[in-house]
Amino acid sequence: MEEVALHRSLCPHTSIITFYDSDIVKRPGPILPELWIVMELSEAPTLANYINIRMAVKQPFTIREVYEISHVVVGVIAHMHSQSPPVSHWDIKAENFLFEDSQNLKLCDFGSASRLYYEPQNALHVSIAEAELGERMTLLYRPPRVTGSLVTAAGRHEVRYMEPGGFDLFTDFL
Protein backbone atom coordinates (compact mmCIF):
# COMPACT_ATOMS: atom_id res chain seq x y z
CA MET A 1 0.00 0.00 0.00
CA GLU A 2 3.03 2.26 0.36
CA GLU A 3 3.29 2.32 -3.45
CA VAL A 4 -0.28 3.61 -3.69
CA ALA A 5 0.12 6.25 -0.97
CA LEU A 6 3.37 7.60 -2.41
CA HIS A 7 2.19 7.60 -6.04
CA ARG A 8 -1.04 9.36 -5.02
CA SER A 9 0.88 11.97 -3.00
CA LEU A 10 3.12 12.85 -5.95
CA CYS A 11 0.26 13.51 -8.41
CA PRO A 12 -0.61 15.59 -10.23
CA HIS A 13 2.75 16.34 -11.83
CA THR A 14 3.51 16.80 -15.52
CA SER A 15 6.31 14.20 -15.43
CA ILE A 16 4.63 11.48 -13.34
CA ILE A 17 2.12 8.97 -14.72
CA THR A 18 -1.26 10.04 -13.30
CA PHE A 19 -2.63 7.87 -10.49
CA TYR A 20 -6.41 7.40 -10.63
CA ASP A 21 -7.40 4.73 -8.12
CA SER A 22 -6.51 1.39 -6.56
CA ASP A 23 -8.23 -1.58 -5.00
CA ILE A 24 -7.39 -4.87 -3.33
CA VAL A 25 -8.92 -7.66 -5.38
CA LYS A 26 -9.60 -10.97 -3.65
CA ARG A 27 -10.02 -13.98 -5.89
CA PRO A 28 -11.61 -17.27 -4.90
CA GLY A 29 -9.30 -20.00 -3.73
CA PRO A 30 -5.88 -19.95 -2.11
CA ILE A 31 -4.58 -17.07 -4.26
CA LEU A 32 -3.44 -14.07 -2.24
CA PRO A 33 -5.26 -10.76 -2.74
CA GLU A 34 -3.85 -8.57 -5.52
CA LEU A 35 -3.28 -4.83 -5.55
CA TRP A 36 -4.76 -3.35 -8.70
CA ILE A 37 -3.74 0.18 -9.65
CA VAL A 38 -5.54 2.31 -12.22
CA MET A 39 -3.28 4.89 -13.81
CA GLU A 40 -2.82 6.85 -16.98
CA LEU A 41 -2.34 4.69 -20.07
CA SER A 42 0.81 5.23 -22.09
CA GLU A 43 1.04 3.35 -25.36
CA ALA A 44 4.22 5.10 -26.46
CA PRO A 45 7.60 3.44 -25.90
CA THR A 46 9.66 3.61 -22.74
CA LEU A 47 12.76 5.77 -22.75
CA ALA A 48 14.80 2.54 -22.90
CA ASN A 49 12.90 1.42 -26.02
CA TYR A 50 13.41 4.84 -27.58
CA ILE A 51 17.16 4.73 -26.89
CA ASN A 52 17.39 1.24 -28.40
CA ILE A 53 15.45 2.31 -31.50
CA ARG A 54 17.76 5.28 -31.98
CA MET A 55 20.82 3.05 -31.56
CA ALA A 56 19.45 0.50 -34.05
CA VAL A 57 18.97 3.11 -36.77
CA LYS A 58 22.26 4.81 -35.83
CA GLN A 59 20.54 8.15 -35.21
CA PRO A 60 22.58 10.02 -32.60
CA PHE A 61 20.96 12.16 -29.93
CA THR A 62 21.42 15.87 -30.27
CA ILE A 63 22.71 17.89 -27.35
CA ARG A 64 19.23 19.44 -27.11
CA GLU A 65 17.59 16.00 -26.81
CA VAL A 66 20.03 14.95 -24.10
CA TYR A 67 19.33 18.20 -22.25
CA GLU A 68 15.54 17.82 -22.54
CA ILE A 69 15.53 14.22 -21.30
CA SER A 70 17.96 15.03 -18.48
CA HIS A 71 15.84 18.04 -17.52
CA VAL A 72 12.74 15.84 -17.11
CA VAL A 73 14.62 13.18 -15.12
CA VAL A 74 16.21 15.68 -12.73
CA GLY A 75 12.97 17.68 -12.47
CA VAL A 76 10.86 14.71 -11.40
CA ILE A 77 13.53 13.62 -8.90
CA ALA A 78 13.56 17.17 -7.50
CA HIS A 79 9.77 17.03 -7.14
CA MET A 80 9.97 13.76 -5.18
CA HIS A 81 12.77 15.04 -2.97
CA SER A 82 10.88 18.29 -2.25
CA GLN A 83 8.12 16.37 -0.46
CA SER A 84 8.01 16.33 3.32
CA PRO A 85 9.45 13.87 4.12
CA PRO A 86 11.26 13.32 0.81
CA VAL A 87 10.29 10.42 -1.44
CA SER A 88 12.98 8.21 -2.97
CA HIS A 89 11.95 6.25 -6.05
CA TRP A 90 14.86 3.76 -5.66
CA ASP A 91 14.47 2.46 -9.20
CA ILE A 92 15.22 5.37 -11.52
CA LYS A 93 16.05 3.89 -14.91
CA ALA A 94 15.17 4.42 -18.55
CA GLU A 95 12.66 1.53 -18.42
CA ASN A 96 10.58 3.45 -15.85
CA PHE A 97 10.17 6.56 -18.00
CA LEU A 98 7.29 6.38 -20.47
CA PHE A 99 6.52 8.73 -23.31
CA GLU A 100 3.09 10.30 -22.92
CA ASP A 101 3.35 11.31 -26.55
CA SER A 102 6.26 12.02 -28.86
CA GLN A 103 7.58 14.75 -26.55
CA ASN A 104 6.63 14.26 -22.90
CA LEU A 105 8.29 11.75 -20.57
CA LYS A 106 6.62 10.49 -17.40
CA LEU A 107 7.99 8.45 -14.50
CA CYS A 108 6.14 5.28 -13.49
CA ASP A 109 6.55 2.22 -11.24
CA PHE A 110 6.50 3.37 -7.63
CA GLY A 111 6.72 -0.18 -6.26
CA SER A 112 10.17 0.48 -4.79
CA ALA A 113 9.48 4.05 -3.66
CA SER A 114 9.75 4.93 0.02
CA ARG A 115 10.43 7.66 2.50
CA LEU A 116 13.22 5.63 4.11
CA TYR A 117 16.53 7.26 4.97
CA TYR A 118 19.68 5.25 5.62
CA GLU A 119 22.60 6.52 7.66
CA PRO A 120 24.39 3.38 8.86
CA GLN A 121 26.67 3.72 11.86
CA ASN A 122 28.46 0.37 11.69
CA ALA A 123 28.96 -2.75 9.55
CA LEU A 124 25.72 -4.34 10.78
CA HIS A 125 23.72 -1.23 9.82
CA VAL A 126 25.42 -1.25 6.40
CA SER A 127 24.42 -4.89 5.87
CA ILE A 128 20.83 -4.20 6.86
CA ALA A 129 20.61 -1.15 4.59
CA GLU A 130 22.24 -2.98 1.67
CA ALA A 131 19.75 -5.86 2.03
CA GLU A 132 16.84 -3.41 1.99
CA LEU A 133 18.25 -1.51 -0.98
CA GLY A 134 18.94 -4.80 -2.77
CA GLU A 135 15.21 -5.42 -2.77
CA ARG A 136 14.39 -1.91 -3.98
CA MET A 137 17.05 -1.02 -6.55
CA THR A 138 17.96 -2.60 -9.87
CA LEU A 139 21.61 -3.67 -9.53
CA LEU A 140 22.64 -2.42 -12.97
CA TYR A 141 21.48 1.11 -12.11
CA ARG A 142 22.94 1.40 -8.61
CA PRO A 143 25.45 4.21 -8.28
CA PRO A 144 28.92 3.05 -7.20
CA ARG A 145 28.46 4.78 -3.83
CA VAL A 146 25.50 2.52 -3.09
CA THR A 147 26.92 -0.71 -4.51
CA GLY A 148 29.40 -2.33 -2.20
CA SER A 149 30.14 0.46 0.24
CA LEU A 150 27.03 2.17 1.51
CA VAL A 151 27.77 5.21 3.63
CA THR A 152 24.60 7.28 3.37
CA ALA A 153 21.72 6.75 1.00
CA ALA A 154 18.70 8.99 1.03
CA GLY A 155 17.61 10.11 -2.37
CA ARG A 156 20.91 11.63 -3.46
CA HIS A 157 21.54 8.35 -5.28
CA GLU A 158 18.71 9.20 -7.64
CA VAL A 159 20.37 12.32 -8.98
CA ARG A 160 23.51 10.24 -9.42
CA TYR A 161 21.48 7.96 -11.71
CA MET A 162 22.72 10.23 -14.46
CA GLU A 163 26.28 9.06 -13.73
CA PRO A 164 26.33 5.27 -14.00
CA GLY A 165 23.06 4.24 -15.55
CA GLY A 166 21.55 6.97 -17.59
CA PHE A 167 23.92 9.53 -18.93
CA ASP A 168 26.25 7.07 -20.61
CA LEU A 169 23.30 5.78 -22.65
CA PHE A 170 23.28 9.15 -24.36
CA THR A 171 26.94 10.08 -24.50
CA ASP A 172 27.94 6.92 -26.37
CA PHE A 173 25.81 8.02 -29.28
CA LEU A 174 26.41 11.77 -29.47
Q: Which string of DSSP letters, residue by residue, matches 36-86? A: EEEE----SPBHHHHHHHHHHTT-PPPHHHHHHHHHHHHHHHHHHHTSSS-
The boundaries of the domain holding residue 94 are: 42-171
pTM for this model (two decimals): 0.73
Is residue 68 domain-resident?
yes
Number of domains in the chain: 1
Q: Is residue 24 part of a domain?
A: no
Dihedral pair phi/psi, residue 71, rounded to 5°: -60, -45
**Does 48 map to a domain?**
yes
Q: Is residue 116 part of a domain?
A: yes
Write down the pLDDT at residue 44. Answer: 85
CATH assignment of the domain containing 148: 1.10.510.10
pLDDT category of residue 128 using cuts at 50, 70 and 90: confident
pLDDT at residue 143 above 80? Answer: no
The pLDDT value given to residue 138: 58
